């Protein structure tokens, strides 16, 4: 996976760095593994806007992804690597030996024809899913569960991966992409390897219209508003807005917002913003 710089034949392509889809093998998903997905435009059930800067976007179908990998001890062959409009990583279509097909998040380096398997004590090879207590320390993983059987919640986006540092009692310590080190139950499942499409972070959109295709509406800077509309608004000329904050006065860039009584704090060994 790589990126390509386009020739500046139009203003929209002048600064664009586009993704390359040479790893994608088909453009049509399996119909039985897709469902229709609607759009809210950032509105709640009253029709009121509760999430700003959302709306429009290209029509999509949702691909049903197997985040649990609970089909144990049945080998599966990779049939296709596909683009998914609902996420940044690529997805892989698995054909199990018993005939069932499922989509998974494609690990980086997985190719058509490879065989993967999930189970309690399978080999910790790329694409295999197993409980973290059976993995050797130092293993790079993604699709990590926080509660056994719940399904993967961590390290699902493009190019992400965590590292298993060690084991103690019934917990394992995992270093997440943010730098945070936390304890997770060893009976939780994870997939070996890092996620595909690692060059996603190197792309440049190039024009405003491409953001609209993704369902993102324009944002107005707070310093460009009036004082009645934003705490950073007002002033003569291009005056700065003071300390950065949200439209509702919530301080940004440094204010701690995590609840000190949050139950999961006891599982965090090292915070992501801790001084090194």
Whether 118 has a pLDDT exceeding 80, the answer reads yes
Q: How confident is the model at residue 104, as a pLDDT?
A: 97
E-strand ranges in 21-133 read 34-36, 61-63, 76-82, 91-96, 101-105, 115-116, 129-131
Residue 139 — very low, low, confident or very high, per pLDDT cuts 50/70/90? Answer: very high
Residue 1 in this model has a pLDDT that exceeds 60: no
Position 121 pLDDT exceeds 90: no
Alpha-carbon gap, residue 215 to 58, rounded angstroms: 7
Count CB atoms within 10 A of the CB of residue 11.
Answer: 10
Q: Which letter does DSSP use for residue 51 in this model?
A: S
Task: Name the residue among 205, 174, 197, 170 with its Cα closest to residue 185.
Answer: 170
What is the predicted pLDDT for the residue at 138?
96
C-alpha–C-alpha distance, residues 273 and 71, integer Å: 37
- Give me the pLDDT at residue 177, please: 96
Is 257 a residue whose pLDDT tops 90? no
Query: Span 33-52, mean pLDDT?
Result: 96
> Residue 220 contacts by C-beta under 8 Å, 6 or more apart in sequence?
none
Question: Domains in the chain, start-ordered, CATH in brackets?
Answer: 3-200 (2.40.50.140), 225-268 (4.10.950.10)
Confidence of residue 53 (pLDDT cuts 50, 70, 90): very high
186-195 burial code (b ≥16 CB/10 A, e <16):
bbbbbbbbbb
Tokens of 176: 């997440």
Q: What is the pLDDT of residue 276?
A: 58
pLDDT tens by residue, 153-195: 999 999 999 999 999 999 999 999 999 999 999 999 999 999 9
Across 57-66, average pLDDT = 97
Rounded Cα distance between 132 and 147, Å, is 12
What would the pLDDT profile of 213-231 be if each residue is shown by its tens digit? Answer: 999 999 999 999 999 999 9
**Neighbouring residues of 160: CB distance < 8 A, sequence distance ≥ 6:** 142, 177, 194, 195
pLDDT of residue 275: 67
* Residue whose tokens read 């806007």: 49
Mean pLDDT, to the nearest integer, of 8-27? 94
Q: Return the pLDDT at 49.
A: 96
CB 231 within 8 A of CB 221: no
Strand ranges of the sheet holding 76-82, from the earlier edge strand across to the other edge? 101-105, 91-96, 76-82, 115-116
Query: Does residue 242 register a pLDDT over 90?
Result: no
Mean pLDDT of the chain, nearest integer: 94
Query: Does pLDDT of 274 surpass 80?
Result: no
The SS3 call for residue 80 is strand
Report how far residue 190's alpha carbon sits from residue 203's, in angstroms, rounded to the nearest whole number: 28
pLDDT score of 97: 95
The predicted model gives 268-272 an average pLDDT of 93
**What integer pLDDT is reported at residue 88 of this predicted model?**
96
Query: What pTM, to 2 d.p., does this model score?
Result: 0.91
Residue 254 has pLDDT above 90, yes or no: no
């Amino acid at each position: 996976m790589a990126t390509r710089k386009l020739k500046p034949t139009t203003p929209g392509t002048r600064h664009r760095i586009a993704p390359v889809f040479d790893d994608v093998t088909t453009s049509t998903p399996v119909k039985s593994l897709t469902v229709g997905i609607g759009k809210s435009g950032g509105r709640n059930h009253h029709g009121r806007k509760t999430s700003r800067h959302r709306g429009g976007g290209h029509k999509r179908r949702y691909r049903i992804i197997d985040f649990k990998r609970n089909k144990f001890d049945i080998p599966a062959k990779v049939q296709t690597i596909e683009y998914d409009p609902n996420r940044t990583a690529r997805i892989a279509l698995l054909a199990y030996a018993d005939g069932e097909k499922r989509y998974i998040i494609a690990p980086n380096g997985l190719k058509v024809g490879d065989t993967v398997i999930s189970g309690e004590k399978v080999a910790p090879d790329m694409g295999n899913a197993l409980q973290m207590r059976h993995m050797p320390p130092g293993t790079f993983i993604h699709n990590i569960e926080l509660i056994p059987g719940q399904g993967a919640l961590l390290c699902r986006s493009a190019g992400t991966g965590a590292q298993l540092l060690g084991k103690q009692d019934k917990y394992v310590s995992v270093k997440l992409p943010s730098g945070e080190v936390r304890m997770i139950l060893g009976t939780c499942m994870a997939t070996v390897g890092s996620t595909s499409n690692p060059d996603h972070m190197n792309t440049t959109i190039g024009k405003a219209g491409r953001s609209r295709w993704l369902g993102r509406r324009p944002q107005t800077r707070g310093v460009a508003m009036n004082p009645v509309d934003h705490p950073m608004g007002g002033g003569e000329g291009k005056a700065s807005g003071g300390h950065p904050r949200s439209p509702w006065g919530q301080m940004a860039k440094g204010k701690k917002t995590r609840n000190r009584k949050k139950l999961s704090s006891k599982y965090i060994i090292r915070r992501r913003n801790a001084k090194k």
